[in-house]
Structure 1
Amino acid sequence: MKIFITVALILASCLPAAFAADPIDLLPPENLQGWTRIPIPAISGVNPKVQWRVDAASKTLICAGDGGHEWLRYDKELSDFVLEADWRFAPKDGETRYNSGIGIRLSKMGEIWYQAQTGLAGAYLFGQNFADGGLKSFNLKAQMKENRVKPAGEWNHFEIRCEGDRITLSVNGEVVSDLTGVGMRRGYIGLEAEGYEIAFRNLKLRVLP
């Protein structure tokens, strides 16, 4: 028995850190409990119109895009984690400027933000990095070697890894952005409303040790 326990402990210690915890399903309940609407910019005030709803049957979170610019913020502060999410825009005739995003390591009211951009022109990391005692804007669009985003109406898959001072974004199975020197080591996840209907599903969070 002692030998068996020792072997089991050795094997467990050899597992990759990313698999140290089971994934958490982040799909909000229908009343959005555990999530908070944060206006962009934070001082502008929240629009009374609620533009977020959960379709329980399809296990999908839908933003109608008609209630102003805001984050829907997951209320638990996080440090190191891997977030997976599927997303798609609702097609609209003649529309080409679809825009939204997934925020990671946001400050509580979103004044400091790192964002995985969702748009038909491509997906990449951009935002405001807190480092060297101040804020500095960054945009990794030029680092994106190819546009891996599918047309409106088709599902895309993001994997966002935050670990230490590094954030990595994979789109549909390939890394497109890799940011180092991240000053914010803790923060919040947010889903962005920016005037376009977008749906999210398979929101899976794996907290890293």
Structure 2
Amino acid sequence: MNALTSDESKAGYRLLFDGESLNGWASTLNTAGWIVKDGNLVCKGERSGYLYTLEKFENFILDLEYRTAPNVNSGVFFRWSDLTDPVNTGLEVQILDTYDQDNMVRNSAGALYDLVAPSSNAVRPAGEWNRLIIRCDRNDIQITLNSVPVVEADIDQWSSPGKNPDGSDNKFKYAWKDQPRLGHIGLQDHGGYVEFRNLKIKL
């Protein structure tokens, strides 16, 4: 695990997590709540701050796997520009135990949080590994969960603070159209146990 296949290497992927250490990562508070265990990157759920890449990325394909304990809330942040304000300056793919949910909403697993609900329920039961792929190409954002395309969004359509293109409200104080597109990738500690592995990126 946490190794690239020859095809992935040829395609231009590189690892963001080496399976042994937190090299290349830092925490907004402290790293005590983030450990490496059995080759996995583990959030112990102690609210020790979000973990983020020291490097910034703009256009990319991010591919990773995660699994959670029951009822856990977390997220993968990207294009996160202000480390003191992840919620308002980082787009988030929702990680949540919503396997039994019938109606998808903007905080269901796989959602572009508070912006776009997933088109279908593709998350696996708590404790099972999920594969998440995030594609960012300028204004186009695509999210695939367990091989199911669940979100496609043109971020330029979010041109007013606190409003979605359909006129509904969101929690964000900035218009995403105007936000920087170069930013950190982050993993959220929302007080629950989460494991990550096979984090890789292609630019």
Matched residue, 2:141: 167
Q: 1:54 aligns with which of 22, 27, 36?
A: 36
Q: Deviations over 1:151-193 (max 9, x none)?
A: 1100000000011112111000111111211543211100111
Structure 1 residue identity aligned to 2:111: Y
Larger radius of gyration: 1
CA offset at residue 19 of structure 1? 9.1
Q: 2:115 aligned with 1:139, yes or no?
A: yes
Q: Deviations over 1:6-49 (max 9, x none)?
A: xxxxxxxxxxxx998521111156452321112xxxxxxx2x57
Structure 2 residue identity aligned to 1:34: G
Q: 1:24 aligns with which of 10, 14, 20?
A: 14
Matched residue, 2:183: 187
Q: Deviations over 1:107-130 (max 9, x none)?
A: 14152010010112222112xxxx
Matched residue, 1:125: 112
**Distance in 2, Cα, partners of 1:61 & 1:170:** 21
SS in 1 for 2:123: coil
SS in 2 for 1:50: helix
| Structure 1 range deviating more: 183-192 or 194-203 | 183-192
CA 28–35 in structure 1, closer or farther in 2 if over 3 Å, else same: farther
CA offset at residue 102 of structure 1? 0.4
Alignment of 1:104-119 (within 5 A): 104-109=78-83, 111=85, 112-119=89-96
CA 21–185 in structure 1, closer or farther in 2 if over 3 Å, else same: farther
The answer (yes or no) to whether the contact 1:27–1:59 under 8 Å persists in 2 is no
TM-score scaled to structure 1, two decimals?
0.70
Q: Deviations over 1:50-98 (max 9, x none)?
A: 110112xx42101100134x2200010111110001000134xxxx3x1
Unaligned runs of 5+ in 2: 1-7, 99-108, 157-176
SS in 2 for 1:125: coil
The answer (yes or no) to whether the contact 2:59–2:137 under 8 Å persists in 1 is yes
Matched residue, 1:37: 27
After superposing on structure 2, the runs of 4+ consecutive aligned residues of structure 1 that deviate more than 6 Å are none
Alignment of 1:33-112 (within 5 A): 33-38=23-28, 46=29, 50-55=32-37, 58-68=38-48, 70-91=49-70, 96=71, 98-109=72-83, 111=85, 112=89
CA 191–49 in structure 1, closer or farther in 2 if over 3 Å, else same: closer
**Distance in 2, Cα, partners of 1:49 & 1:116:** 22
What is the CA RMSD across the aligned residues, in angstroms?
A: 2.2
Percent of counterpart pairs with the same letter?
Answer: 30
